[in-house]
Structure 1
Amino acid sequence: MTWAGRLGIVGLGQISMQLIGLCAGILVARLLSVDQYAYYALAIAFLTSINVTSESGLSSQVVAIASRRMPDRTGFGGLFALANRYRRRIALAFTAAGAPTLYILLTLNGADIATAASLVAVVVLTIFSAISVTLASSSLSLFYRFGPIQAAGIAASVGRLAGSALLIALSTVGALVPLMANWLSTLGQSVALRRSLSREVDLNDKRQRGDDALELRRAIARLLPVNLILVIQSQGVALFLGVVGATVVLAQVTAVSRYTLVFGFVSTILVSALAPGFARYRRSASRTLALYGALVGCATAVLAAALAVMQIAAPFLLGLLGDSYQGLQAEYAILNLGGAVGAVGAAATGFNLARGWIRGAWLMIPATIVWAVLAFTLADVTTAIGASILIATSYLPTLATATLQATLGLRRMGPGNDAAQMKS
């Protein structure tokens, strides 16, 4: 299949998933009360935090290791199992520490004991159901098996939409309905992806090759602290608003930020379809730089166009969320601008990880500290405008770090050959 065909499959799949997900998010925002939507936002923030932290670059590192051995697939089952084991351990550690915190935040914001306990339980189930999703998706993309990835993702999105629609009939249940739908959909997606991957490689062969364990541990050691910083950037505002009990502001910024999914799917399309080929690209440093610049530049141009369209459609899109959110036009513009910048950084990071360019991740820590000091000093995060500014600017450290990682990765390449760099 040509690259255009692959991009078309991934593009159609991602557009379908994002549109379905956007519809589900709009339904949840419209149908839940402000308080229930705040509980939902806190639960999703915690779920996202654990998923991002437990990932720690493992999926991309599996792709980077396996791509060096292609077309030989021997030992891939052991590599996949090892990455799964590491991710499960990280998720278990952070869930054990974080689940009580989520329960406390929910009760602080008015949830009764039964509601808080049930929401925490469903979130924990979802975390461990999602362990294999990213790993299996990344592995299938290495073998250019985009169809099963998109099919499983679309089915999961439809399941989440159905759960959101159930709120019409079961409105008294509140945030528990969409969260349960999310859990069941994630579980089904994980099973489907693993089944598809088992047709490509022998997942029962758990033998390990060479220094796989050492490489994965090094990736975790380098990227786990960075992912913790990413969690602070992306979910810190929601968790902070939960701590101070700013329920209305939390619901407002979470609902309006739903539309930033539009920018996320653009970078996801490019990374999902093109990162495996970029990982295999064997040319000089100058040609690799040119290709890298073309990929990131393409993402930037498309995202800028999407930002303009989204701004024109602001009155209509805000109206879809309901009366509680229709007047948040300034917040909408700020969040979308930040979402576009964040999507550029995500695309650049995805291409970096596909090449194994993880050196320079340390920059995320000082960059985030500088951002946090300036943002929390200059913006009143307890207002919708202040919280929107904080969220929008939180993507800047990621963009700066991705730039440094690409620079260091290219410098380590030998003239005319990147084999040495790919082994590092």
Structure 2
Amino acid sequence: MRRRSARVMLEHGAAQSVSQILGFVNGILVVRALDKADYAQYSVVIAVIAAAAVIADSGISSTVMAIGGRIHGDRAAMSALFSRAFRVRYLFGFPVIIIACGWAAVLLLQNGLAWDGTALLLSVTAFTLFPTFAAGLLRAYFRLRLRARFMQSVDIGAALLRLAVIGLGMWWGAISAAYLLVGGLVVAAAILIAFWIGAGASEMVRSEPTSNGREFWAGIRRVLPMTIFLVASEQALLAIASFRGNPEIVAEMAALSRFAVAFVVLNAVVSDIVAPRFSRAANHFLHLRRLMIQVFCGYLAIVVVFVALVWVAAPLLLALLGPGYAGLTGPLVLFAAGYGLANLAQAMNVIGQARGWVQWSWLYVPLSIIAISVCIFVLPLQSVSDVAVMFVLQCTPAVLTQIVRIVTGLSRAKNEPHEVVST
């Protein structure tokens, strides 16, 4: 069984590596094709879209995973569950879209974009979020059904489509932030269509929704405070770089973050392979504890190796970004360490939520406030190096919060009746 699980994870990781290598190539092409002002505006919109997707998912996918892990073999029950999830997602997601567009407008104007250009990018942002929200929820369906290969195929296809969009733009000489974001909208729509057909989502939305809407909203209330502050801390970094710094710092910050793509592969394995199995695992304390220790220590070891490799290969990595990013070895290594911590916390969050372990999520709020306050009052925050230090400090509260959540969840499992673990 262990050998089979290891083989599945390796196969999934290999497929995700192909997808992320394509994504990395796409990212490098974008960095080199845009000047820093244009790239700063592009990065702002991408960051806001990612933040809105995280907030809109607060507690919804975790509720689906927790319930779906028990009924995954019943197609009708699954359809009813996702019917309810879709309703909650868009009731909750619509105001998120409005707030996200308002925030994007503030940042775009601060980074030098005119009103007409801002209006265009906001329209693209809003229309991109609708398919992004739906596709994000449908991923939970494929995870519960253990259909990782289908997701792999879609992700690789999406990466190839992005590459085609970038290639055509370079061929036509039409590369700009607006062009690339419209291309991103096309890719988001294509992903949704593939997932919609693959999951038979038309049947889901026509199904009578389950009556457990309160359970979804309860999950949102438990997870939302931590999620908001997690996103707010990330956006604070972007806001400080925009208001205290300039578009050049925003562009450098975004460009140096490109190399964190390695963690996307690892997190795909955690989300698509590890978390579903953790959701379906028997409620046996020793078994769950062993799994958590293995995943946490394994992930932490990968983070350490990643940071060391980035430090050694820094000259080559900076050369890939172009001459405008030379001499940023220190910030590059700091961003690598910060993204390592952030992704460790994200992986533990996904696994914990798959089990419904969301207690103590609020702890992130005071810890994050302390970290941000220290950064604002101690660091000058007028260079990309200062921003990189702030990023590392910001990521620490997330890791600490996840450790507390996991320990609490394991304690609860210890006190609950044990289920037999099959061998």
Per the normalisation by structure 1, the TM-score is 0.92
Deviations 1:365-394 (A, max 9, x none): 111111111122222222111111112222
User: SS in structure 2 opposite 1:382?
Assistant: coil
Contact 1:267-1:299 within 8 A present in 2 as well: no
Match of 1:306 in 2: 306
User: SS in structure 2 opposite 1:48?
Assistant: helix
How far does residue 272 in structure 1 lie from its aligned partner after superposition?
A: 1.8
Alignment of 1:158-307 (within 5 A): 158-171=160-173, 174-198=176-200, 202-209=203-210, 212-244=212-244, 246-307=246-307
What is the aligned counterpart of 1:33 among 32, 35, 45?
Answer: 35
Match of 2:120 in 1: 118
Match of 1:59 in 2: 61
| Distance in structure 1 (CA, Å) of the matches to 2:174 and 2:414 | 63
Call closer, same or farther: CA 1:330–1:151 in 2, change over 3 Å. same
Q: RMSD across aligned C-alpha pairs, in angstroms?
A: 2.1
Contact 1:284-1:415 within 8 A present in 2 as well: no
Deviations 1:327-349 (A, max 9, x none): 11111010001111122111111
Contact 1:42-1:239 within 8 A present in 2 as well: no
Match of 1:422 in 2: none
| Distance in structure 1 (CA, Å) of the matches to 2:102 and 2:340 | 34
Moved over 6 A (4+): none
Match of 1:410 in 2: 410
Match of 1:151 in 2: 153
Match of 1:15 in 2: 17
Contact 2:68-2:78 within 8 A present in 1 as well: yes
Deviations 1:307-352 (A, max 9, x none): 2222221111110101111211111010001111122111111110
Counterpart residue identity of residue 67, structure 2 = I
Deviations 1:177-217 (A, max 9, x none): 22111111111111111211128x9425522345x212111
Alignment of 1:311-390 (within 5 A): 311-390=311-390
How far does residue 418 in structure 1 lie from its aligned partner after superposition?
A: 5.0
| Distance in structure 2 (CA, Å) of the matches to 1:164 and 1:38 | 17
Match of 1:93 in 2: 95
User: SS in structure 1 opposite 2:42?
Assistant: helix
Deviations 1:52-106 (A, max 9, x none): 1111031122011111234333322122122222222233212223323422432
Counterpart residue identity of residue 323, structure 1 = P
User: SS in structure 2 opposite 1:71?
Assistant: coil
Per the normalisation by structure 2, the TM-score is 0.93
How far does residue 8 in structure 1 lie from its aligned partner after superposition?
A: 3.0
User: SS in structure 1 opposite 2:155?
Assistant: helix
How far does residue 402 in structure 1 lie from its aligned partner after superposition?
A: 0.8
Unaligned 5+ residue runs, structure 2? none
| Distance in structure 2 (CA, Å) of the matches to 1:169 and 1:225 | 45
Call closer, same or farther: CA 1:380–1:263 in 2, change over 3 Å. farther
- Provide the aligned length of Structure 1 versus Structure 2: 417
How far does residue 416 in structure 1 lie from its aligned partner after superposition?
A: 7.2
| Distance in structure 1 (CA, Å) of the matches to 2:265 and 2:379 | 29
Contact 1:126-1:186 within 8 A present in 2 as well: yes
Unaligned 5+ residue runs, structure 1? 420-424
How far does residue 298 in structure 1 lie from its aligned partner after superposition?
A: 1.5
Contact 2:245-2:382 within 8 A present in 1 as well: no
Match of 2:74 in 1: 72
Call closer, same or farther: CA 1:101–1:67 in 2, change over 3 Å. closer
Matched, 1:3 2:18: no
